[in-house]
Amino acid sequence: MYVLPGTNIEVRELTYAAAENLLDSIFLTGGLVLSQVAGITDCAPHVIQNWVKRGFVSPPVNKKYSKRQFCRIVFISFLKEIMQIDRVTALMGYINGHLDDESDDLVDDFTLYCYFIQTIGLLKDFREESVSSAVELTVAECGDGFVRARLGDTLRVMATAYGASILKSRASLLAEGLNL
């Protein structure tokens, strides 16, 4: 079993289809309220509201967050553990323009998250060559050259940050074992 990055949701495999099917089923009713998003992402509600207020996430509609908004929250949540928040938002803007405007997205956050899950599912380790190979396999048939290049760059950063988060967690566990 695996845990989808940025969430506490367990899945059997890390593939585009698995992420897509799971998130589609969670959002079958049309959206999640703040407490549900907070519960799944382990983010405090006030933190999520702050991200909306700062324009990192578009505001919920009728107090419900869409799949796209949820995926943006997940990205910010897990990436901020490795990168400064201004770098995280710059990365999100690199692929999606203005963060509070979904109409200018090259790749919407839901699709980006599914591509990200596909990429990390292909990783054998976190070496630069492995990350690049996994990204290239993921983006091989995605959009035109500009979109594919931007998507590849973004996934490369995200997969590397994911690897760093795994290594950071391992280091913490090892240090705990030393009773430091």
Say what the pLDDT of residue 180 is: 65
What pLDDT digit, counting tens, does each position of 1-11 carry? 888 888 999 99
Q: Which residue has the tokens 């990055």?
A: 5
Nearest-angstrom CA–CA distance, 57 and 135:
25
pLDDT of residue 100: 72
- State the total domains in the chain: 1
Predicted TM-score (pTM) above 0.85: yes
Q: Which residue range is the domain that position 38 belongs to?
A: 2-177
